[in-house]
Amino acid sequence: MSVFASSCAPAEGWLAVAGLGPGAVGLVTPEAAEALAQATDVVGYLPYVERVPPRPGLVRHASDNREELARARQAIELAAAGRRVVVVSSGDPGVFAMAAAVCEALEAGPPAWGGVELRVLPGITAMLAASARAGAPLGHDFCAINLSDNLKPWALIERRLRLAVEADFAIALYNPRSKARPEGFARALQVLREAGGGTRPVLFARAVSTPDEHLDVVGLDEATPEMADMRTVVIVGSSQTRLLARPAGALLYTPRSVSGDAA
Ligand code: SAH
């Protein structure tokens, strides 16, 4: 038997953690839409819960951004009580989002929660939607770093940025900037430059797949903190990432292969 299969008889209730994608309805997976159609309860951060249209028989529980663990516990309790619960995240629920918070809450929770059926339903994460819009900047090796220091020390963020440049990854930066941390992204750009990021192209992709979508590509040496906000995902290219000018529109891409002397 798979270690992932539950040995308990399934209760009536269930819990799904679903990603709603970057914004467009067409980028919600059929699997996530089906779970939402069967749900009695939707739980999540207010702007994400608002993306689920109200209907009779569906209770929408919206909470504040910083209440992830409390929200996860609430969702598990509802499922344990027999409700069909979907916790919603934007993008993919496993990328800087609620799936890990639900796992943490289950780990710390009472034994009775051991029988709650959990499914994590993937979604299209912001960096993949942004990458697809621009061309293929993540076509070779890449990493993703969350610039929010709510849940980790800033020194660790700086270290990861430096090492990512040194390893010549393309780097997707989530949560680049907020009103609470105006100086963080300026410092991140400085660290990337000091680490040798040079003139690598940087994609600023804002509100991808929504009516507010805006994409911009500049060199790292020209990038300024104001180019990003909390609705922006930033993709810093590797040393190989290039902009291909075409009459039909430029393409930002990272070639599939890299020569041996780059190491
Ligand atoms: N789970 C989400 C990420 C949550 S962190 C996902 O997989 O996409 C929130 C950050 O995601 C934002 O600060 C921004 O950096 C990025 N983001 C989410 N939606 C976006 C969109 N439509 N366009 C650009 N960036 C987005």
Q: Is the CB of 205 under 6 A from ligand 1?
A: yes
Report which DSSP code applies to 229. -
* Partners of 17 in beta bridges: 87, 120
Ligand 1 center to residue 34 CA distance, Å? 23
Query: Nearest Cα to 121, choosing from 102, 142, 149?
Result: 102
Residue 161 alpha carbon to ligand 1 centre in Å? 19
DSSP assignment letter at 44: E
Residue whose CA is closest, atom 13 of ligand 1?
A: 175
**Per-residue confidence (pLDDT) for residue 3, from 0 to 100:** 52
233 in ligand 1 pocket by Cβ < 6 Å? yes
| pLDDT over threshold 70, residue 9 | no
* pLDDT reading at 253 higher than 50: yes
Are 195 and 239 in contact by the 8 Å Cβ rule? The answer is: no
Amino acid, single-letter form, for residue 30: P
Q: Which of 180, 162, 179 is nearest to 171 (CA)?
A: 162
Which residue in 55, 72, 71, 62 sits closest to 118, CA to CA?
72
Q: How far is the centre of ligand 1, averaged over its atoms, from the C-alpha of 7 (Å)?
A: 36
List Cα–Cα distances, 122 to 7, 104, 205, in angstroms.
24, 18, 21
Instruction: Report pLDDT digits (tens) over 31-83.
Output: 999 999 999 999 999 999 999 999 999 999 998 877 899 999 999 999 999 99
Q: Distance (Å, rounded) from C-alpha 17 to C-alpha 89?
A: 8
Residue 213 binned pLDDT confidence (cut-offs 50, 70, 90)? very high
12: confidence class by pLDDT, cuts 50, 70, 90: confident
Give φ, ψ of 31 to 5 degrees: -65, -45
Strand partners, 59: 41
Q: Which residues pair with 231 in a beta bridge?
A: none
Best residue among 28, 87, 90 to mutate for probing ligand 1, ranked by most atoms within 8 Å of CB: 90
What CA–CA distance (Å, rounded) separates 198 from 173?
Answer: 17
Alpha carbon distance 233, 253 (integer Å): 16
- Using a cut of 0.95, tell me whether the model's pTM lies above it: no
> Amino acid identity of 79?
A
**Across all residues in the chain, what is the average pLDDT?**
93
CA dihedral 59, 60, 64, 70 (to 10 degrees): 40
